[in-house]
Amino acid sequence: AQSVAQPEDQVNVAEGNPLTVKCTYSVSGNPYLFWYVQYPNRGLQFLLKYITGDNLVKGSYGFEAEFNKSQTSFHLKKPSALVSDSALYFCAVRDRETGANNLFFGTGTRLTVIP
């Protein structure tokens, strides 16, 4: 069975400081991992994904994420937060072995960047 845990419902960070949004996953095989962001009354926007290769993945808007197989984590990071980064962030996993296309999402982490 596939699952994703986002242990923090809410993350607050001061503008200009680094931010981290945590994600851990569970799959029977090897994972494909994704991060999406959701602004109010908008759909999910794709940020980045890990498929294979380099464990550090760079994505849109200056975000990056590091795949850590031993810790089964895929934390989202940004060196310097902007007020406009305030949104709801979702981590998602797909099991590489099953070949299924559907994503399993976490419950989301609300990021607030304080000016």
Instruction: Determine, following the binding rule CB under 8 A, whether residue 96 of this chain makes contact with other proteins.
Output: yes
Q: Please list, in sequence order, all residues whose beta carbon lies within 8 angstroms of the beta carbon of residue 14, skipping any fewer than 6 positions away.
A: 81, 113, 114
Instruction: Determine, following the binding rule CB under 8 A, whether residue 56 of this chain makes contact with other proteins.
Output: no
Instruction: Determine, following the binding rule CB under 8 A, whether residue 45 of this chain makes contact with other proteins.
Output: yes
Q: How far apart are CA 29 and CA 76, in angstroms?
A: 22
Q: How far apart are CA 57 and CA 10, in angstroms?
A: 23
The least CB distance from residue 16 to other proteins, in Å, is 29
What does the binding site for other proteins look like in residue numbers (CB under 8 A)?
4, 32, 34, 36, 41-46, 49, 51, 90, 92, 94, 96, 99-103, 105-108
